[in-house]
Amino acid sequence: MKPVALAGLTTTLAAFAAQAQPIANGALEARSTAVAEASGGMPQLDFGNPLMLAQVVWLLIIFGVLYYVLAHIVLPRFEGVLENRRARIQGDLEAARAAKAEADAAMDAHRSATARSRTEAQSAIAEALAAAQADAGTKAAALNARLNEQIAAAEARIAASRDSAMGALREVATDTTDALVKRLTGLSEPAAIQAAVQRELAAQGRA
């Protein structure tokens, strides 16, 4: 028997003995008083008295009955209630541990998913930035090439216009100089006049 059951049984027996003792003392009060007056001893220890022996026998019988009832009926039920409570508490603890483990697993999965999403987002941003930079570089190169072509075409048109203007200017200068020489000297030297005009224009940076 467990310590809890033994303690309960001891308490019950002590209470029963405390209640049975006044009854036995009341039944033997008159004779115990007479014996005490005659012998001067304690009547509770007079084991030669048949009533005392009957009291002891009934006490043992009642003790045995109570012991049987407590050991086979009351205490097993009490122990069953305690076992049920213990099992329910243990089940609740196991359920709490399982719920905590599931919560920890869910939290770890959430952290992993968050880290993976952050990594994927950073990778996507880096790829988009690289693609944008590459596209911007391509567009800038195409724009520079188009601008260079336009500048070269404009320079070519300017050079052609300058050459045309210089040719007209050379022709006008040559004709004017030739007319002046003819009026002043009466001579006509087209080659010499053209060479002189060319030298003058070259000296002025217009050739």
CA pair distance 172, 168, nearest whole angstrom: 6
pLDDT given at position 186: 67
The answer on 95 and 20 residing in a single domain is: yes
Tell whether 105 and 168 lie within a shared domain. no
Are the beta carbons of 7 and 28 closer than 8 angstroms?
no
Range(s) of the domain holding residue 172: 163-203
Give pLDDT, residue 189.
Answer: 67
Q: How far apart are CA 182 and CA 147, in angstroms?
A: 51
How many domains are there within the chain? 2
59-109 pLDDT tens trace:
899 999 999 998 888 888 888 889 999 999 999 999 999 999 999 999 999
Residue 121 falls within a domain, yes or no? Answer: no
In this structure, the answer to whether residues 109 and 167 fall within a common structural domain is no
CA distance 20 to 107: 67
Residues of the chain with pLDDT under 70: 1-50, 170, 178, 186-189, 192-194, 197, 201-202, 204-207
Task: State how far the Cα of 31 lies from the Cα of 135, in Å rounded to an integer.
Answer: 126
